[in-house]
Each structure stands twice: as C-alpha cells, then as structure tokens.
C-alpha cells in the first residue's frame, strides 16, 4: 500500500531529510550573508543603500540617462528616491520577449515619529509617534528601540540620523504599566490595552539649566542640535523611524532559525538580491525590485503602484518595444513572506494547507481575505510552471495558504503586478511572529527562497 501511496499522494517532507552535507553548508553560507544584510538594513532607506553597495561591488551601475535598450549581460540599477530600488541584468532575448521579475518589499512595521514629536510631561521628555503598518501595539512597549532616518533641511540638504545602533550609543523605550497597577489595563482587549497615542518614546529626563517650563524638552532638543545641527522646525521635514534594537541572532540549540526585526520582507528582498547579483547572462532580462510602502498599501512614489516601475522598464525597452508588450510576456515572483504554522496557535491555520518551517519556499496561489478578496489568484498554469521550474532546479518548496478561511488574511504586491498584465505568483519564506519586533524564520526556507529566485532568473 505504501508504494501506491508514494505513487499517488503528494507527500511533502521536512527539508533536512532531502538535502546533504554540501547543501547544508551552502545554506549556512547564504544565511550568514542574509543576517549581515538584515543587521545593516533597519529601514527601507538603509535596505536600499546597503543593496546598492552590494550591487556596485557585483558590477551594477546606475542606469544612465542616455541608455538605449538594455544590452545582454548589462547590469543596471535605478535608485528611486533612496527608498526603493530596481535592478536588472540584460537577457539574451529582447525585452519584447518579456522579463523575469522578483518583487519584494523593504519597508517593515515600525513607530514613525510625528512631525511635531517632542514634548515633556512630569519633567520627562518624549517623542510622539504614529505607528506604520499592522502592529500589535503591546509588543512595542518595554523593548529597546533605535532611531533611524533623515532630516531634510530648508536649504535642500539632508542629515542622516542613527541613534542607538553603536554599542556605546543610548537607546530608547516606550514604557508600559507595572502589573501591580495594571488591574484596569488587564481587563481591556489586547487591541485596546496599549493605545496608539500612548506609544510615546522616552527621550530624556535632565532639565536644561535655568528657570521656566519645558526645560527637559529644551535639553533634548539641545542635544539633537549638538549632534545634528537641527531645530524643532527641522523635525517637521524629517522621517525618523523607531525600530527594535535587537541584533539579528541564530535561534535554537541547533542554530537552525534566525531571529530579527524586519524579516518581512527583507528576507525575500535579500533572496532576490543575492540571486540577481549572481545572474550573468539570463535568457530573459532579470529584474529585481525592492519596493517601499507595501505595509500601507503599496502607495506613494516609492510603492509598487508607482509608475516608477514603468519608467524603469521603458528605459530597458528603449525603442525596441512598448512597456505593455514587454509586460504581457513577463513572469513575476511576488516574493513576500507567508505565515508559518505555529503549533502554539494551530486554531488559526488549516494544517493541510499551512506553511511549515523547514519545508522550503512557500508558494501561495492566492492571498487576500474573505473569499480571496484582494488576491491576484495565480492561474493553474502558472503554479504548474513554478512547480516544474523548482523541481528541475532542486528547490524544496511547499504549497500554502495564509491562515484558515475567514480567519483574517493579508496581501502582497502581487495584485499590482498582475494589474499590469504580468503573470504573477506569490512565493516566499514562512515566518513565525510576523510583524512582531523580533520575527522568526528557518534558515532552510530562507535558502530555498533564494534558490527559487535563482531558478526563476535562470529560466528560459
């Protein structure tokens, strides 16, 4: 009977039963590079600048104004306002044959400082914040935070801000109530226990010498002025992001997992990036996108709905074909993370169709919620194509769905790529504690997502 089962049943296996010593070593090497990238890329801007540094080292050059159609083997990138990045390696075939694109995002949930953030209360200085993306607010209290971002000055120059990354630098925190006095708070729902306006970041406590009010606020502003030459008015034109200060670490006694902030979706962004940096002369032009603003709907000039993508592809096409013609023959892997089955919370997943740690890159035919709403729902033919591509390249993959029917759901950039007449499917790394300040992935799945991207770029 077992023989018949093996013949007829789809029986996914734990990845560690499928790979040998050489592949395990390759996996470890790959994850070292990923962990270093994740440690260096705490914001979308840093994810872009770090990717450019790696791309230039691999021979990529900025797309010049005079460039015609992309040449076979040519390696170019377009830095979209420092917040999203588009890279390409010219294929042997012309752009009219379409291109293979990996689309991931590099923005992650965080606490953004408001434009007038600074105030003091009871002689303590604070920054007010407005959270970015979907967070469980209680998770962001009582953990160490760093401040990263940029302040645009009136004279047109900008000042980059990083406070808390260096070991000697001070860090920040959002305080929470002690349990002794939390009787009322503990009666509230988890959604209401910590309210958005209470996510204020403690910024200082020593008053400025002299008489009068707002002395701690003045002292904090004075320190910012000493360090960065800025005033309170300059904060109006600033983007300052408070992000978890945790180092990226190996997890588990067997070191098989990775813990870190921002793995959604820098884990897939790095997989795409590492794959395209090793792509030399693909059949079809390879394109890699590190997009911004996915967590708030792919909006804005640096989001995936932006025409910046059309502008980039138009430059690669030159006068050889229209962007639309090229789109219609293209293939997109929307590389974004998916929810892994959490044995502590099995009730939110339907086990047969849930992604599992160490089972490889997760394909999602559809995402969305309430009857697949908001999904691009890849065609059967496209799923079949990806199955073949990955099996031929020795990529371990699993088919998965983000949570039980009507449990909730989520979206990616997939529908915005499909809107453009590009065949698109979601594939990415299963994550535990997604959107938490410290997310968990399995090294094996990170590595297989990279192999999946390599196989896609290497396809006919």
CB of 24 to Mn ion, least distance (A): 27
- Minimum Å gap between C-beta 389 and Mn ion is 22
Does residue number 44 form part of the binding site for Mn ion (CB under 5 A)? Answer: no
Residue 136 gets which letter from DSSP? -
User: Which of 105/217 has CB closer to Mn ion?
Assistant: 105
Would you say 367 and 409 are in contact if contact means Cβ atoms under 8 Å apart?
A: yes
Distant-in-sequence, close-in-space partners of 261: CB < 8 Å, separation ≥ 6: 38, 42, 108, 243, 244, 246, 248, 437, 438, 439
CB of residue 295 vs Mn ion: minimum separation in angstroms? 5
Are the CB atoms for 61 and 77 separated by under 8 Å? Answer: yes
- Tell me how far apart the alpha carbons of residues 30 and 422 are, in angstroms, rounded to a whole number: 30
Closer CB to Mn ion, 45 or 435, in the complex? 435
Residue number with CB closer to Mn ion (296 or 314): 296
Residue 336 touches Mn ion, criterion: CB under 5 A: yes
Does 439 engage in binding with Mn ion (CB under 5 A)?
A: no
> Mind spelling out the 3-state secondary structure of 62-126?
ECCCCCCCCCCCCEEEEEECCCEEEEEECCCCCHHHCEEEEEEECCCCEEEEEEEEEEEECCEEE
Q: Write each residue from 212 to 251 as x if it is in contact with Mn ion (CB under 5 A), else as -, in one continuous string.
A: ----------------------------------------
For Mn ion, which is the closer residue by CB, 23 or 336? 336
Q: Could you count the other beta carbons within 10 Å of the beta carbon of residue 207?
A: 17
Name which of 254, 267, 303, 293 is nearest 429 in CA terms.
267
Near Mn ion by CB under 5 A, which window of 144-152, 238-246, 247-255, 328-336?
328-336
For Mn ion, the closer CB: 217 or 365: 365
Decide whether 75 or 110 has the Cβ nearer to Mn ion.
Answer: 110
One character per residue 248-287, x = contact with Mn ion (rule: CB under 5 A): ----------------xx----------------------
Closest CB 281 distance from Mn ion, rounded Å: 31
Cβ at position 264, least distance to Mn ion in Å:
4
Of residues 304 and 386, the one with the C-beta less far from Mn ion: 304
Nearer to Mn ion, 163 or 427 (CB): 427
Query: At its nearest, how many Å lie between Mn ion and the CB of residue 433?
Result: 12
Q: Which positions ≥6 away from 340 have C-beta within 8 Å?
A: 354, 355, 356, 357, 430, 431, 432, 442
Stretch that binds Mn ion, among 73-81, 172-180, 252-260, 333-341 (CB under 5 A): 333-341
Report which residue's Cβ sits closest to Mn ion.
265
Shortest approach of Mn ion to residue 331 CB, angstroms? 20
CA atoms lying within 13 Å on the CB side of residue 324: 0
How far is the C-alpha of 359 from the C-alpha of 12, rounded, in Å?
7
In whole angstroms, the minimum distance from the beta carbon of 151 to Mn ion comes to: 27
Query: Whose Cβ is closer to Mn ion: residue 46's or residue 265's?
Result: 265
- Residue with structure tokens 């005079």? 66
CA distance 414 to 104: 10
The long-range contacts involving 128-135, CB below 8 angstroms and separated by at least 24 positions, are 128/197, 128/200, 129/199, 129/200, 129/201, 129/242, 130/196, 131/196, 131/199, 132/107, 132/241, 132/295, 132/296, 133/107, 133/108, 133/109, 133/295, 133/296, 133/435, 134/109, 134/295, 134/435, 135/109, 135/435
Helix, strand, or coil (residue 283): coil
Between 230 and 268, CB nearer to Mn ion: 268
Q: How many residues bind Mn ion (CB under 5 A)?
A: 3
Binding segment toward Mn ion, per CB under 5 A, in 149-157, 181-189, 334-342, 366-374 = 334-342
User: Contact region for Mn ion (CB under 5 A) — 68-76, 113-121, 204-212, 335-343?
Assistant: 335-343
Least distance from Mn ion to the Cβ atom of residue 337, Å: 5
Contact assessment for residue 432 and residue 421, using Cβ atoms and an 8 Å cutoff: no
Least Å distance, CB 283 to Mn ion, is: 29
Question: Residue numbers of the site for Mn ion (CB under 5 A)?
Answer: 264-265, 336
């Amino acid at each position: 009977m077992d023989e018949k089962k093996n013949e007829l049943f789809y029986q996914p296996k734990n990845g560690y039963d499928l790979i040998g010593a050489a592949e395990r070593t390759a996996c470890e090497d790959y994850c070292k590079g990923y962990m270093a990238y994740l440690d260096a890329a705490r914001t979308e801007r840093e994810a872009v600048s770090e990717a450019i540094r790696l791309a230039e080292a691999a021979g990529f050059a900025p797309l010049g104004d005079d460039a015609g159609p992309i040449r076979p083997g040519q390696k170019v990138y377009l830095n979209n306002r420092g917040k999203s990045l588009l890279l390409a390696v010219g294929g042997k075939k012309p752009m009219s044959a379409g291109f293979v694109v990996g689309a991931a995002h590099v923005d992650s949930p965080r606490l953004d400082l408001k434009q007038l953030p600074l105030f003091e209360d009871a002689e303590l200085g604070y920054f007010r914040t407005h959270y970015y993306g979907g967070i469980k607010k209680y998770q962001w209290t009582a953990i160490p935070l760093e401040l990263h971002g940029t302040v645009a000055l009136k004279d047109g120059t900008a000042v980059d801000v990083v406070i808390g990354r260096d070991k000697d630098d001070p860090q920040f925190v959002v305080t929470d109530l002690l349990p002794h006095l939390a009787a009322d708070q503990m009666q509230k729902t988890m959604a209401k226990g910590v309210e958005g306006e209470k996510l204020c970041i403690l910024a200082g406590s020593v008053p400025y010498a002299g008489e009068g009010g707002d002395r701690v606020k003045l002292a904090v502003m004075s320190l910012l002025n000493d360090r960065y030459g800025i005033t309170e008015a300059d904060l109006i034109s600033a983007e300052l992001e408070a992000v978890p200060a945790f180092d990226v670490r190996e997890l588990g006694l067997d070191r098989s997992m990775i813990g870190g902030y921002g793995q959604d979706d820098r884990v897939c962004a790095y997989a795409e990036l590492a794959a395209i940096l090793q792509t030399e002369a693909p059949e079809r032009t390879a394109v890699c996108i590190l997009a911004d603003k996915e967590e708030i709907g792919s909006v804005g000039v640096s989001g995936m709905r932006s025409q910046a993508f059309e502008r980039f592809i138009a430059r690669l096409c030159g006068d050889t074909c229209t962007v639309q013609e090229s789109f219609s023959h293209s293939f997109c892997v929307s590389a974004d993370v998916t929810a892994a089955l959490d044995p502590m919370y099995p009730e939110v997943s339907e086990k047969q169709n849930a992604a599992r740690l160490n089972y490889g890159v997760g394909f999602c035919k559809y995402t969305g919620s309430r009857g697949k709403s908001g999904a691009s729902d890849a065609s059967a033919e496209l799923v079949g194509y990806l199955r073949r591509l990955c099996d031929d390249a020795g990529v371990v993959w699993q088919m998965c769905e983000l949570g039980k029917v009507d449990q909730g759901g989520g979206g990616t950039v997939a529908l915005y790529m499909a809107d453009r007449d590009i065949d698109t499917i979601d594939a990415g790394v299963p994550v535990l504690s997604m959107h938490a300040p410290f997310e968990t992935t399995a090294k094996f799945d990170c590595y297989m997502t990279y192999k999946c991207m390599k196989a896609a770029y290497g396809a006919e």
